[in-house]
Structure 1
């Protein structure tokens, strides 16, 4: 059977898709990028449009279909109604994908949803059951051969009023430090030049097992080899307590000088309604400490505009925090009501308000980001080539994880010196020296 896998959303979802591909190849199935007998679509449920995009991909797929990834219980009936032929294997059951495919091949429609299925499917060897609780040290087929995506935990400690992911992923379950180090060693051995440590919230790593994020990072950075670590999203309330340790860690040359800290709103009033456990002042303090110690660090943050009951004054405070902290990357999102969330029950804004606020915020950010990136024009920088666009066009990453477009005869994983010739608000263009 020829099987194609499509993943939407975060790097953790991509990692789960790579694991399913590895498990299926290990079982003798052919993994393809084109025409397939079975398509496995890994869904993202962070925003409604992302989920709908996954549904469209599943509907358009030829042959048999399995829908996987972040699937809320409230959407299972909708999926079954819209795509009756689709089987469902939730995020907690990816290690049972071989079992699901075997049953599907016999003509069954399979539904493996929720943790209970994962806990009850003990037909696999005990070792497989143990490892299925940690999505590390698993067979993989990587989408990008030079990027090793290493999940460090599942679930989170938050209760954000707008987010449905907690209801799907559950409480925080941190993976052992030694397992993550072993996975990193394997990635490096297989030629990965970038290690992406990923989770729903990397900041709370270890809280449940008596460990901490700095402790994990220090262990990973002892792994020998030529690679750099990119840390995934970490929420401010957890970073705030370890920012001084993080400053020291970011000075290690194996770390990309890049930190993704989602503020979500510049208004403490809105943050309380979002049930985010920090203040805007704490976010600003974190950024200030990082920038003081590491002036060229890339700060990435997220903003939600149009959250229910966000006043004009609240929105202006979000503009102010972006002006004050000047992030290099802004993931800007219009608020989208998600099923099974408290915020979805609140009074919603008209779409016109969301569009207007999004436009104002985007223009303000692009102006600041362009001014900052223009400072790189004329400089010579070393970049790590980590993605191919098409033809002889590639994307490279600076030590601060800034994307640089480069053309030429290049190889993924190669370090090249480039001269920056152009800047936009989102990326740089360089010429190979």
Structure 2
């Protein structure tokens, strides 16, 4: 029997089904009913680390519904920034390659995987609600991302498996163990970064998100993300170029460079964002590829010395002239004063960034973030922030009320009265919503890049100008992956709309594989529905900016307006314990039908295991 299993393991590895650091043992356990009691070991946590096996002499494996890849289905939900979305895409790629089925609806799942965000209270509360939903159905849960990494003692995660931000390649182990009734924790920090070359399933086949780095060099008093992502760790330029080359070969239309702070990229490895961008646009993302490059969120301090070179890059035809630069406040007292945010730049520094970009990059879109009601914010500080908004009249701004995140310096500060904070938030939102930034486009003809997006009604195709302004035209599935000239007829608050100029459509990249010719006629409406990813008029950023819009009551409603994807570390040992089950934001629904050859190969392996056990 052991020889048979050893042969099977060798066969699995030769088929490249297992990830590089996959489990070293193949374990078979009974699968409990989805709505019944799941298997629970009676042994202590210390003995749980060694896997138990099925006794073939007393159990007929053919009579059991085994939780094995190829049989189990996984639902993944993501909260937060573009970096989180990229991590989720890698985890789904690993799960799919291993043989798990990926489903788009939680009711079809045998296990939930939830990638969490710790930026604000509402995002954490929302994901905890999803955990409780799964637990109420007795479905195993694996929680990933910033929340468990930043604080593994978070209430509600006591009996679920957890994976930290540096351990995304452990997702197969975590899901497999969770389906077998165990709880595992992979939260230790390790040298090196997760590989950029893991299997990946993109939420949008046309958009490749490449994390340039993880962590940052700042120490903002309100930020919980630093507790999770840690200090800056940058990927080598060569690895980023290889990832971009692979993505272009796979047919993407946009490459997003994501980071907690793109401006700081490379400081730890003696290079810079400017150097990376020059090589990317010269060697990989060239005009001839038809691929557009989008630079992710940067804080002011580390972009100041690179403004000239970055401006030149954003003037290239293959680079979106869009940049997210969060300011958070227009007052130096709040930014760098005693009891403030410790943002490491002044209002004047931020103004230098804006002034240089506006002067050097025609029609650039600058997005920003504002936090209303920081503990040391006085009325005059708030008025200074209002004046900054009035001066630049940003097209896109994420307006948040201050949230004290547990464990941060700001959480220990005395808070401003809630009524005052809400009043300031409303006043700021009223000013921001009074702007009419897109009227200037009416009666002009603009070049628009169309991806896979459609609006909420599914009657309009959604594209973007070079400055990433959102453009709506009557729905046309054939325009996906193309650029076209559009006559602009209306300028709304958060988008413009018009009609495509006849004979102006130029295909840049092929339609995704699922849109084959034989499917177009019969699945037009379904495909439109599937691709309604909604980059939406909210949530701008990448790393740790303000992420998502909360749908709360009128008194607490936040304004997150624009277009885009918004936003000391505790070392813990890896551990595994047996336990019994107890108990917007971007909802990334991956609509994927897994038909990879690996599944077929794995089915043969499962059959061999079961047949061998039955012979016993």
Q: Which band: TM-score by shorter chain? A: over 0.9
**Which residue is equivalent to 1:164?**
224
Q: CA deviation at 1:377?
A: 1.5
- The more displaced of 393-402 and 143-152 is 393-402
Do the aligned residues in 2 keep the contact of 1:72 with 1:167 (CA within 8 Å)? no
- Counterpart Cα distance in 1 of 2:459 and 2:242: 35
Task: Write the mapping of 1:44-83 to structure 2, written as runs, cut at 5 A.
Answer: 44-61=117-134, 62=137, 63-72=139-148, 75-79=151-155, 82=156
Residue 73 to residue 234, structure 1, CA distance change in 2 (3 Å): closer
Partner-residue secondary structure (3-state), 1:91: coil
- Does structure 2 conserve the Cα–Cα contact (< 8 Å) formed by 1:376 and 1:420? yes
1:42 to 115, 129, 133: 115
Aligned to 1:185: 245
Does the 8 Å CA contact 1:4/1:39 hold for their aligned counterparts? yes
Does 1:341 find its partner at 2:412?
A: no
Aligned to 2:446: 381
Give the deviation of 1:413 after TM superposition: 2.0
Q: Does the residue aligned with 1:240 lie in a helix, a strand or coil?
A: helix
Higher strand proportion: 1
Q: Would the aligned equivalents of 1:64 and 1:85 in 2 still touch at CA under 8 Å?
A: no
The one of 80, 86, 89 equivalent to 1:15 is 86
Does the Cα contact within 8 Å between 1:162 and 1:274 map onto a contact in 2? yes
2:291 counterpart residue number: 227
Structure 2: gaps spanning 5 or more residues? 1-71, 502-616
In structure 1, what is the equivalent of residue 178 of structure 2?
104
State the distance in 1 between where 2:195 and 2:425 align: 36
**Which residue of structure 2 lines up, in the alignment, with residue 127 of structure 1?**
none
**1:245-294 CA distance string (max 9 Å, x none):** 11111111111000111111100110011111111011111111111122
Cα distance change, pair 227–258 in 1 and its aligned pair in 2 (3 A):
same
Deviation of 1:422 after TM superposition, in Å, equals 2.1
Distance 1:6 1:406 in 2: 30
> Cα RMSD between the aligned structures?
1.6
Does 1 or 2 have the higher relative contact order (CA < 8 Å, sep 6+)? 2
Alpha carbons of structure 1 residues 242 and 143: separation in structure 2 relative to 1, 3 Å: same
Q: Give 1:85 deviation, angstroms.
A: 4.5
- Please give the per-residue CA displacement for 1:179-214, whole angstroms capped at 9, x wherever unaligned: 111111111111111110001111100000000001
Runs of 4+ displaced beyond 4 Å: 72-75
SS of 1:40's equivalent in the other structure is strand
Structure 2 matches for 1:278-297, cutoff 5 A?
278-297=345-364
Aligned to 1:124: none
Counterpart mapping for 1:344-363 below 5 A:
344-363=411-430
Quote how far apart the aligned CAs of 1:73 are: 5.6
Q: Which has the higher helix share?
A: 1
Distance 1:419 1:284 in 2: 34
Q: Distance in 1 between matches of 2:157 and 2:231?
A: 30
| Residues matched between the structures, number | 415
Residue 421 of structure 1 and its aligned partner are, at CA, apart by 2.1
Looking at structure 1, the residues matched to 290 and 154 of structure 2 have their Cα atoms a distance apart, in angstroms, of 47
Q: In 2, are the aligned partners of 1:59 and 1:83 still within 8 Å (CA)?
A: no
Question: Is contact 1:302-1:332 (8 Å) kept?
Answer: yes
Aligned partner of residue 208 in structure 1, secondary structure: helix
**3-state SS of the aligned residue for 1:71?**
helix
For the 8 Å contact 2:150–2:228, the answer to whether it is kept is no
- Where does structure 1 lack aligned partners over 5 or more consecutive residues? 120-129
| 2:16 paired residue number | none
Inter-partner Cα distance in structure 2 for 1:233 and 1:344 = 25
Deviation at 1:348, TM superposition (A): 0.4
**Match in the other structure for 1:314:** 381
Give the equivalent residue in structure 1 for 2:210: 150
1:268 and 2:332 matched: yes
Q: Scaled by the length of structure 2, what TM-score is found?
A: 0.65
Q: Structure 1 pair 139/73, CA: closer, same or farther in 2 (3 Å)? A: closer
Deviations 1:69-112 (A, max 9, x none): 11156743334xx3555221121211111111222222211122
In structure 2, distance between residues paired with 1:74 and 1:180: 27
CA deviation after TM superposition for structure 1 residue 406, in Å: 2.3
**Residue pairs, 1:318-333, within 5 angstroms:** 318-333=385-400
Query: Any idea what SS the aligned residue of 1:303 has?
Result: strand
Contact 1:16-1:135 at 8 Å conserved across structures: no
- Secondary structure, counterpart of 1:17 in structure 2: helix
Which is higher, the Rg of structure 1 or of structure 2? Answer: 2
